[in-house]
C-alpha cells in the first residue's frame, strides 16, 4: 500500500551519465596516451588563454551584476508604471536571441561604422564585454528583482516609521533579502560567460582574446590537433567543476514569476525621475542592437538573400535540430521531474533536488567539451561529420535541459502537492490522470519549455561549429560564415531572418502546445 | 459503522516525533468532530483513515470490513480538503462527474445523479462554471456534491470550512448535517474551531500528541472538562 515513487528519471539519468562519461573517458584516455605535452602546458599561449577566459568572465559578471543591481532596484522603486510588464518581457528577449545575431547588433551599434562607435576597436575584450552585458544584464535583473519583491511591505513601513535613511534601508531591508540570491546569480553568470562560445568566436578569437572554448574549436577545426584540444577541454572542465562546486553552496535562485507585480513600493520623491532614467537607459541598451540590426536589414539586399536556397536549407536544418532537441529535452525534463516531485511529495527533498541537479550537468561539463570528447572518439573510426546532426541534437537537448527543468519544475511540484491526494482518493491515475488533470494544468509550462528549448537550439552556434559542414549548416553557422566573409549587409538580412524565425517558432509553439487558457487558478 | 482500533503511525523523518495511536468509533448518521491544537495529529488521523499515509499498525473497519490494507482509491470513503478540492480547468459538472467515473464516460442515470446532487447542494445553474468563477462556499459545496455522488458511507472533512467566514461556515455545517441525516453517513470533521463542533456534533474527540485524549458529548467536553490539556486549548 505504500506509495511508490515514479522511476521514470532513472533511464534518463543513465543516458545523461553515458553522454557525459563516454566523451570524458575518451578525453582522459587520449590525454594519457598522448606524447610529451609539457611544452604546451608551460606555453605562454595556454597561460594567456586561461587568464583571458577567467578575466573576461570576471569583468562580464562584474558589469552585468553591478548594473543589474542598479536597474533592478530602480525597477522596484518605481512601483507600478505604464509598460512595466512590457519592459520585463523585453528583458526576457535576449534569452531567445541567438548569440551571433546579438553580436551583429552590437557591431551595428558600437562598431567603427555604427551608431555610437566606440573609440577603440570593438573586436576584442570591449566587444565581448558589451555582448555579454547585452545577454546577462537583463537576465540578472530578472533574477534579482524577486529579491526586492520578497521584502514584506510591513518591513518598508517599519523602515519609514523608524526614519531609516537610504543607506539604512539598504543595509537592514534590501541587503538581507539580496544576500541570499546574489552569490547564486553571480556564479551562474560567471559560468555562462566562462562557457560563452559564439560571442568570443565572433568578437574575439584573435591571439589576444581567445577563451578556452574557442581555443578548443580552433585546435580541432583549424590546427587539426586533437591532443591539444583534449588538454584544453580537460582544463575547461576543471574550471567549470570548480565554479559548480562553489555554486552548490549557493544553490538558491529565485523561482518567482516576475512579470506579475506582487507588491511594489513606489518612491514619491525626486529619485523617481532618476529611477525612470535608469530603467529607460537599460531598455534602450537592450533594444538598440536589435533595432539597429533590423534597420540595416531593411536597407540590405533582402530579396537576394532570401532567394538563396542555402538560406532555406540552413533554416530547415535549424528547425529540425531545434524541434528534435526540444522534444528530447522536454521529455527528459518531464521524466526527471515526475520522479523528483514524487520524492519531494514524500518529503525526500534531498533526493529530489539531487535528481534535478543531475539534469543540469551541462553547467559542469560544457557542451563543447562533450562535443570534443565525441569528436576525438568518433574521428578515428568513422567520418565524424556524418554524425553531425544527431550529435548536435543530443548536445543541444542537454543544453536546453536546465531551462526545461526550471520552467517545468515549479508547476509540476505544485500540481503534485495540490492534487496528488485528491487524485488518489478519486482513483484518477494513468492515462486518465494525464488527460484530465496533468496535461490541462501543465500544458502551458510545457509549451513555454518547448518553445524556449527550440529557440535556444535553433540559435545555437556551438557544437554545430565543431561538426557542421557546408552540407549540414544551420542558420547561425550560415550567418557566421557571412560575417567571416565580411558580407555585412547580407549578414544583417540573415540575422533579421534568423531572429524573426526563432521568435515566430517560439510564439507558435507556445500557442500551439500551451493552448488558450481562461482558467483562474 | 467506522471503527478505528489502535491505529498507529510514526513520522520517521521527524526526530522528536511521538508515536501516534488512535482509537475511535463513529456511528451511522453521526458527525464526530475532532478538535485539538496545531500539530496534535488531527490531519494525520484523517490521512491514515483515507490511506494517504501507511499506518504502522492497528485496523480500520467500515461496516465490519477491514480496509487498512486497501489503497486510497479503493477505500469506501470520500474526503473534502480545506482547499484545492476542484480542478481549476474543469467546470462544476465535470468536477463532480470525476467522483463517479474518472474516465468521464457517464450514462444517463449517472448524469441524473449529478443533477440531483447539484440540486441538493443549491448549485443548479452553476454546472458550466469554472471553480475560479465560484465563491469559496460554492466551491466547497461542489466538493461535497462530488463526495455525495460517490455514494460512500463515510465522509472525512479535513478543515473543509476553515477558510470560510463564521456565517458561511455555520451554513455549510447545517447543510452537511441535513445531508448526513438524509444519506445516513458517518462523518469525521476535523476542525480547529471548537465552535464548529458545537454546531455540528453531539460527540467530540479531543486529540493531542497523536492520541485521542477525550471522547465525550460536545457540550460536556467543551464546558465541563477537567483535563488541563483541554482547558489550555480552549483557554478556559
| Model confidence pLDDT, tens digit, residues B58-103 | 999 999 999 999 988 889 999 999 888 888 888 999 999 988 888 8
Task: Count other Cβ atoms within 10 Å, centred on residue A299.
Answer: 10
pLDDT digits (tens, 9 = 90+) for A339-384: 999 888 888 888 888 888 888 888 888 888 898 888 888 888 888 8
Any idea which residue has 525526500 for its cell? A348
Question: Which residue reads 534597420 in cell numbers?
Answer: A295
Residue A14: exposed, middle, or buried by beta-carbon count in 10 A (0-12, 13-18, 19+)?
Answer: exposed
Cβ–Cβ of B133/A520 closer than 8 Å? yes
By the 8 A CB rule, do B216 and B181 touch? no
pLDDT at A261: 40
A511 shares contact with chain B (CB less than 8 Å): no
Question: In this model, does residue A447 exceed pLDDT 60?
Answer: yes
- The whole model's pTM is what? 0.81
Q: What is the nearest CA distance from B122 to chain A, expressed in angstroms?
A: 23
Q: Tell me the pLDDT band of B15, cut-offs 50, 70 and 90.
A: low
A-chain residue closest to B156, CA distance: A425
Q: Are A377 and A230 in contact (CB under 8 A)?
A: no
Residue A68: pLDDT band (50, 70, 90) is: very high
Percent over 70 (pLDDT), chain A: 93
Which CATH number fits the domain A9-29+44-255+271-514, given the four candidates 1.10.3720.10, 1.10.150.110, 1.10.150.240, 3.40.190.180?
A: 1.10.3720.10
The values of phi and psi at residue B97, to 5°, are -60, -30
A378 contacts A220 by C-beta, under 8 angstroms: no
Instruction: With CB atoms and an 8 Å threshold, state whether A428 touches B98.
Output: yes
- Does ipTM come in above 0.95? no
Averaged pLDDT for residues A443-450? 94
Residue in the block written with cell 453517513: B185
Q: Does A395 touch chain B (CB under 8 A)?
A: no
Neighbour count for residue A280 (Cβ, 10 Å): 12
Q: Mutate which of A4, A411, A414, A421 to test chain B, going by most B C-beta atoms within 10 A?
A: A421
Average pLDDT, chain B: 90
How far apart CA A469 and CA A464 sit, in angstroms, is 9
Mutation site for A-interface testing, chosen from B87, B95, B138 by largest number of A Cβ within 10 Å: B87
Q: Which residues of A touch B72 (CB under 8 A)?
A: 421, 424-425
A335-344 pLDDT tens trace: 999 999 988 8
pLDDT band at A209 (very low <50, low <70, confident <90, very high): confident
Q: Higher confidence at residue A164 or residue B50?
A: B50
What pLDDT is recorded for position A119?
61
pLDDT classification of A259: cutoffs 50, 70, 90: very low
At A444, the pLDDT band (50, 70, 90 cuts) reads very high
Residue A211: its pLDDT value, please?
A: 92
Residue position matching grid coordinates 544553490: A251
Between chains, do B89 and A2 touch, taking CB under 8 Å as contact? Answer: no
- Say whether pLDDT at A207 is over 80: no
Report the pLDDT value the prediction gives residue A258, as an integer from 0 to 100: 38
What residues of A are in contact with residue B104 (Cβ under 8 Å)? Answer: 436
The yes-or-no verdict on residue A66 having pLDDT over 90 is: yes
Question: What is the phi/psi pair of residue B208, to 5°?
Answer: -150, 140
Structural element, H or E, at residue B58: strand B57-62
Which contiguous run of DSSP H or E holds residue B158?
A: strand B154-158
Which of B72, B86, B157 to mutate to test binding with chain A, by most A CBs within 10 Å of its CB? B72
What band does A80 get if pLDDT is binned at 50, 70 and 90? confident
A250: pLDDT strictly greater than 90: no
Q: Answer yes or no: do B132 and A520 touch at CB < 8 A.
A: yes
- Most confident range (mean pLDDT) of A57-61, A346-350, A424-428, B165-169 is A57-61
Tell whether A427 is within 8 A of chain B (Cβ). yes
CA distance linking residue A318 with residue A307, whole number of Å: 18
Cβ separation of A520 and B131 shorter than 8 Å? yes
Does the beta-carbon distance from B71 to A1 stay under 8 Å? yes
Domain boundaries, chain A: 9-29+44-255+271-514
Looking at residue B212, what is its pLDDT?
93
**Residue A461 and residue A100 in contact, taking contact as beta carbons nearer than 8 Å:** yes
In the predicted model, is pLDDT for residue B182 greater than 90?
no
- Does A91 score more than 60 pLDDT? yes
On chain B, the residues whose CB falls within 8 A of the CB of A347 are: 13
- What percentage of residues in chain A have a pLDDT greater than 90? 42
- What distance in Å separates the CA atoms of residue A58 and residue A52, rounded to the nearest whole number? 10
pLDDT of amino acid A262: 42
B52 with A432: Cβ contact below 8 A: no
Evaluate if residue A15 carries a pLDDT over 90: yes
Between the alpha carbon of residue B23 and those of residues A212, A511, B44, B60, B67, the distances in Å are 68, 54, 13, 10, 15
Question: What is the rounded CA–CA span in Å between residue A372 and residue A57?
Answer: 22
Q: Read off the pLDDT of each residue in B191-208 and give the average, rounded to a whole number.
A: 92
**In this predicted structure, what is the pLDDT of residue A288?**
93
Contact A520 B78 (CB under 8 A): no
Which has more confidence, A481 or A162?
A: A481
In which band, very low, low, confident or very high, does the pLDDT at A244 lie, cut at 50, 70 and 90?
A: confident
- Reported as type and span, the H/E element at residue B190 is strand B186-190
pLDDT band at A255 (very low <50, low <70, confident <90, very high): very low
Q: Which of A5, A427, A440 to mutate to test the interface with B (most CBs of B within 10 A)?
A: A427
- Region A439-454 average pLDDT: 93
Residue A188 has pLDDT above 90, yes or no: no
In chain A, which residues have their Cβ closer than 8 Å to the Cβ of B51? 1, 424
Query: How many separate helices (H) and strands (E) can be counted in chain A?
Result: 23, 0
Q: What would the mean pLDDT of B177-186 be, rounded to a whole number?
A: 90
Q: Residue A268 above 80 pLDDT? A: no
B167 touches chain A (CB under 8 A): no
Amino acid at each position: 500500500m505504500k506509495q511508490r515513487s515514479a522511476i521514470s528519471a532513472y533511464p534518463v539519468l543513465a543516458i545523461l551519465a553515458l553522454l557525459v562519461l563516454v566523451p570524458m573517458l575518451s578525453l582522459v584516455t587520449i590525454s594519457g596516451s598522448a606524447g610529451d605535452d609539457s611544452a604546451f602546458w608551460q606555453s605562454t599561449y595556454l597561460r594567456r588563454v586561461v587568464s583571458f577566459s577567467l578575466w573576461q568572465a570576471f569583468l562580464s559578471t562584474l558589469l552585468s551584476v553591478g548594473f543589474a543591481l542598479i536597474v533592478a532596484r530602480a525597477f522596484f522603486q518605481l512601483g507600478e508604471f505604464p509598460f512595466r510588464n512590457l519592459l520585463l518581457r523585453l528583458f526576457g528577449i535576449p534569452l531567445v536571441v541567438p548569440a551571433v545575431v546579438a553580436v551583429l547588433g552590437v557591431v551595428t551599434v558600437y562598431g567603427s561604422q555604427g551608431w555610437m562607435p566606440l573609440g577603440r576597436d570593438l573586436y576584442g575584450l570591449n566587444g565581448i564585454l558589451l555582448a555579454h552585458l547585452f545577454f546577462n544584464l537583463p537576465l540578472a535583473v530578472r533574477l534579482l528583482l524577486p529579491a526586492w519583491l520578497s521584502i514584506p511591505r510591513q518591513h518598508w513601513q517599519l523602515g519609514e516609521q523608524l526614519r531609516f535613511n537610504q543607506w539604512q534601508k539598504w543595509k537592514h531591508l534590501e541587503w538581507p533579502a539580496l544576500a541570499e540570491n546574489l552569490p547564486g546569480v553571480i556564479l551562474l553568470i560567471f559560468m555562462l560567460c566562462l562557457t560563452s562560445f559564439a560571442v568570443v568566436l565572433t568578437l574575439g578569437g584573435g591571439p589576444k582574446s581567445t577563451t578556452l572554448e574557442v581555443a578548443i574549436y580552433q585546435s580541432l577545426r583549424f590546427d587539426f590537433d586533437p591532443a591539444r584540444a583534449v588538454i584544453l577541454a580537460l582544463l575547461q572542465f576543471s574550471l567549470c567543476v570548480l565554479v559548480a562546486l562553489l555554486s552548490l553552496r549557493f544553490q538558491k535562485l529565485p523561482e518567482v514569476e516576475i512579470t506579475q507585480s506582487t507588491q511594489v513600493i513606489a518612491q514619491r520623491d525626486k529619485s523617481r525621475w532618476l529611477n525612470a532614467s535608469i530603467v529607460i537607459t537599460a531598455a534602450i541598451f537592450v533594444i538598440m542592437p536589435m533595432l539597429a540590426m533590423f534597420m540595416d536589414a531593411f536597407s540590405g539586399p533582402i530579396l537576394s538573400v532570401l532567394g538563396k536556397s542555402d538560406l532555406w536549407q540552413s533554416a530547415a536544418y535549424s528547425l529540425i535540430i531545434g524541434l528534435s532537441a526540444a522534444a528530447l529535452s522536454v521529455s527528459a525534463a518531464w521524466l526527471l521531474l515526475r520522479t523528483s516531485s514524487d520524492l519531494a511529495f514524500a518529503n525526500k527533498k534531498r533526493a529530489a533536488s539531487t535528481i534535478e541537479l543531475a539534469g543540469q550537468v551541462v553547467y559542469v561539463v560544457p557542451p563543447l567539451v562533450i562535443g570534443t570528447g565525441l569528436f576525438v572518439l568518433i574521428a578515428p573510426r568513422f567520418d565524424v561529420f556524418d554524425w553531425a546532426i544527431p550529435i548536435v541534437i543530443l548536445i543541444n537537448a542537454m543544453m536546453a535541459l536546465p531551462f526545461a527543468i526550471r520552467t517545468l519544475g515549479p508547476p509540476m511540484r505544485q500540481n503534485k502537492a495540490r492534487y496528488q491526494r485528491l487524485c488518489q482518493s478519486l482513483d484518477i491515475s494513468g492515462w486518465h490522470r494525464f488527460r484530465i488533470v496533468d496535461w490541462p494544468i501543465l500544458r502551458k509550462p510545457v509549451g513555454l519549455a518547448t518553445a524556449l528549448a527550440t529557440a535556444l537550439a535553433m540559435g545555437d552556434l556551438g557544437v554545430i561549429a565543431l561538426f557542421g559542414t557546408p552540407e549540414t549548416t544551420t542558420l547561425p553557422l550560415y550567418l557566421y560564415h557571412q560575417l567571416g566573409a565580411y558580407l555585412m549587409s547580407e549578414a544583417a538580412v540573415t540575422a533579421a531572418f534568423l531572429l524573426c524565425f526563432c521568435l515566430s517558432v517560439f510564439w507558435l509553439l507556445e500557442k500551439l502546445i500551451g493552448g488558450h487558457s481562461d482558467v483562474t487558478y | 459503522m467506522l471503527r478505528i482500533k489502535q491505529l498507529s503511525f510514526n513520522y520517521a523523518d521527524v526526530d522528536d516525533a511521538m508515536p501516534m495511536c488512535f482509537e475511535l468509533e463513529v456511528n451511522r448518521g453521526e458527525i464526530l468532530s475532532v478538535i485539538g491544537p496545531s500539530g496534535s495529529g488531527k490531519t494525520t488521523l484523517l490521512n491514515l483513515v483515507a490511506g494517504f499515509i501507511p499506518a504502522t499498525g492497528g485496523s480500520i473497519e467500515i461496516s465490519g470490513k477491514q480496509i487498512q490494507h486497501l489503497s486510497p482509491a479503493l477505500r469506501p470513503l470520500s474526503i473534502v480538503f480545506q482547499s484545492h478540492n476542484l480542478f481549476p480547468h474543469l467546470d462544476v459538472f465535470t468536477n463532480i462527474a470525476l467522483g463517479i467515473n474518472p474516465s468521464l464516460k457517464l450514462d444517463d442515470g449517472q448524469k441524473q445523479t449529478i443533477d440531483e446532487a447539484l440540486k441538493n447542494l443549491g448549485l443548479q445553474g452553476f454546472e458550466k462554471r469554472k471553480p475560479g468563477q465560484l465563491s469559496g462556499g460554492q466551491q466547497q459545496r461542489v466538493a461535497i456534491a462530488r463526495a455525495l455522488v460517490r455514494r460512500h458511507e463515510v465522509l472525512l472533512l479535513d478543515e473543509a470550512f476553515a477558510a470560510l467566514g463564521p456565517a458561511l461556515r455555520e451554513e455549510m455545517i447545517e447543510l452537511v448535517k441535513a445531508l448526513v441525516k438524509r444519506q445516513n453517513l458517518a462523518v469525521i470533521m476535523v476542525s480547529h474551531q471548537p465552535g464548529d463542533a458545537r454546531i455540528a456534533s453531539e460527540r467530540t474527540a479531543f486529540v493531542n500528541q497523536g492520541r485521542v485524549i477525550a471522547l465525550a458529548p460536545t457540550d460536556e467536553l467543551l464546558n465541563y472538562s477537567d483535563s488541563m490539556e483541554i482547558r489550555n486549548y480552549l483557554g478556559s
